Structure 1
């Protein structure tokens, strides 16, 4: 988004809030991993609950698809404002630099927490008889939770390459008008179903697909898996088209009751088909069951993504200082949160609390540390300029300028 007044009427506050909320929900998502009844995490806690599985499933269902939808819309908005080379410079500065710069901070911190826990289990001494770490290759490179930045860079590059010949040849705008008409026909109650069909096929074709985890997270290697490219790529592309037809956001907003009801139904169906709270780590092997589960899950992904988008447009389109601040802080919080979450999980292992108390303590502690570091080290410094596009002065004027959204 442009550097404009907080109260500018055409500023998409609802989508900006959803973008920030999607990143902040990553803290809750990763915090819940220790408390799932099925142990999948490095630091499983003795206190577990089916509710933790529901929390994880619901957040994982829509979070990143909705994020990429908004990312596509904001990308088109930025390209129209800055031009191709300005867009490229901006994305290299605010996406590539944090990815390749902060990875060297986050990854050692993650390893440090793992080594700390291993030393605790070994009487205080770091064990020396463990297996050697796997070699870092293009296929195994651990992007961790920063994978979304790499995938964004790939989508930006693919989009610029694909649009270049059409932009050069479409001098009179006829092709653009055709695309806009097709976008108008695409948006309606049927949109999630149309978007779900390619994803269902991609999930069905995914080898060893574990249904509970839905879209496989492309957090290892520099070539994302086909299902992730399909889901997030379609969402990104639709976001680009929606910025060309901003009027269609009103249509999506009006459909919020239908999207919400269908999302609840399909989400519940996908949860049951995926194994429920006590899910199994065994891949779906029966072809018919796999096809049906993939279809329901894919439908649930896009109905839930459109539901949260419509709800955000309906109920969060007004200006809120708190939402604005958290949206600004969300990028930094997401980048630094994972080792903090892991450290909090380790500290809570022996705490005399129920699972929800431990999880709440982890989330609250991570948010407190992250927000404090954001305010003191990021928001008013050159780091804030690198992440959010401009540095906020310590003393704000009466008519402050908004930090550009991603």
Structure 2
């Protein structure tokens, strides 16, 4: 594999990780536990399985690929252009769209409260909490904030290593990558994550990595997990040869992921999940190690599968990968609204889940095509605007990106 090869498989996997967020949040209304504002009367342990499996690997996989692609862009652009690009596209997605998405989420929440209150909003509710560093509601856009933290950290490291004319730092990074990446990776990388799980006083096994969606200081477990994933991805960009090692070992990773994932689910209480922290230290340590190994095994298995079976260009996969950023940004209030609309329907849970996912994807993709892909918003979020019409073959070519 040469450094000029486009990593179509990883690009598709990154987009798939974001699109699976629609399924993840849609499933939460049908888990047999009151964990969601629009918990439906039609619940099932099947929805618990959907949530557990997706949540196990989704964001770790995303951040690993983000680290690899981030390094690729930094090397191609140089740090000043890279910083402007990330601030515009990632910071812009967060700071520009939060003001649209958060009020929409609040509107759906108030709608559900009014339904529960007989059609009107109660007048004696508690006041909203004050916005502080600890309470700021990042919502599902938290991953953009965490990405910005990692980008700032990476640029600081870039500044520190800029004076290394001998290349010693790069050679050390290459040796570390070679030692970390291989069939042994899940067990090796599980150690810091298992310790973070074990140290977290309120860790719930079923929820795995606690989502840092509230507050501007991410929790230690999330920083450990996603920071390590980003760092591994960054190292892989220097050692592209190690991607072949991952691709070749994907069956091993997959078997370990299924075995340890099933064990982690059992330790979490099974499909009727236990939603309280683990108290016993020995049980907590066992659960932490098991979940951590399952998480990393699933992540490497999916990376290997993407490299093995999706390495060729696919217009459909490329389109969905391009659309995934927009879809993820706008999906949550749409999912919640669809769940509220279906509360009174006597359909089975899987039919409601399918209807929510299909409806939200249709609206999101249509809005992407009409409002984003061919407009300045596409240039802002995706770094390019696709013309409505392809240029005539005899026309002058467009300038390179």
TM-score if structure 1 supplies the norm length?
0.95
CA distance in 2, matches of 1:123, 1:203: 42
The reply on whether 1:343 has 2:337 as its aligned counterpart is yes
Whether the aligned pair in 2 keeps the contact of 1:180 and 1:244 (CA below 8 Å) is yes
Q: 1:117 aligns with which of 104, 112, 115?
A: 112
Displaced runs of 4 or more, over 3 A: 397-404
Q: 1:75 aligns with which of 46, 51, 70?
A: 70
Question: Mapping of 1:87-166 within 5 angstroms?
Answer: 87-166=82-161
- Which stretch of structure 1 is more off in the superposition, 393-402 or 63-72? 393-402
Post-superposition offset of 1:352: 2.3
Equivalence for 2:8? 13
Post-superposition offset of 1:369: 0.3
| 1:323 to 1:101, Cα distance in 2 relative to 1, 3 A | same
CA distance in 2, matches of 1:209, 1:389: 38
Post-superposition offset of 1:401: 8.5
What residue ranges of structure 1 are gaps of 5+ in the alignment?
A: 1-7
| 1:176 to 1:398, Cα distance in 2 relative to 1, 3 A | farther
CA distance in 2, matches of 1:282, 1:176: 44
Question: Mapping of 1:349-360 within 5 angstroms?
Answer: 349-360=343-354
CA distance in 1, matches of 2:46, 2:66: 30
Post-superposition offset of 1:172: 2.1
Equivalence for 1:327? 321
Matched residues, number: 396
The reply on whether 1:51 has 2:46 as its aligned counterpart is yes
Post-superposition offset of 1:162: 2.3
Alpha carbon RMSD of aligned pairs, Å? 1.7
CA distance in 1, matches of 2:193, 2:64: 15
CA distance in 1, matches of 2:392, 2:91: 34
The reply on whether 1:204 has 2:198 as its aligned counterpart is yes
Post-superposition offset of 1:282: 1.4
CA distance in 2, matches of 1:401, 1:351: 51
- Which stretch of structure 1 is more off in the superposition, 112-121 or 178-187? 178-187
What residue ranges of structure 2 are gaps of 5+ in the alignment?
A: none
The reply on whether 1:286 has 2:274 as its aligned counterpart is no
Post-superposition offset of 1:398: 7.6
Whether the aligned pair in 2 keeps the contact of 1:53 and 1:277 (CA below 8 Å) is yes
Equivalence for 2:30? 35
Equivalence for 1:175? 169
The reply on whether 1:309 has 2:303 as its aligned counterpart is yes
CA distance in 1, matches of 2:348, 2:391: 46
Post-superposition offset of 1:120: 2.1
1:37 is paired with a residue whose SS is coil
Equivalence for 1:268? 262
TM-score if structure 2 supplies the norm length?
0.96
Whether the aligned pair in 2 keeps the contact of 1:21 and 1:327 (CA below 8 Å) is yes
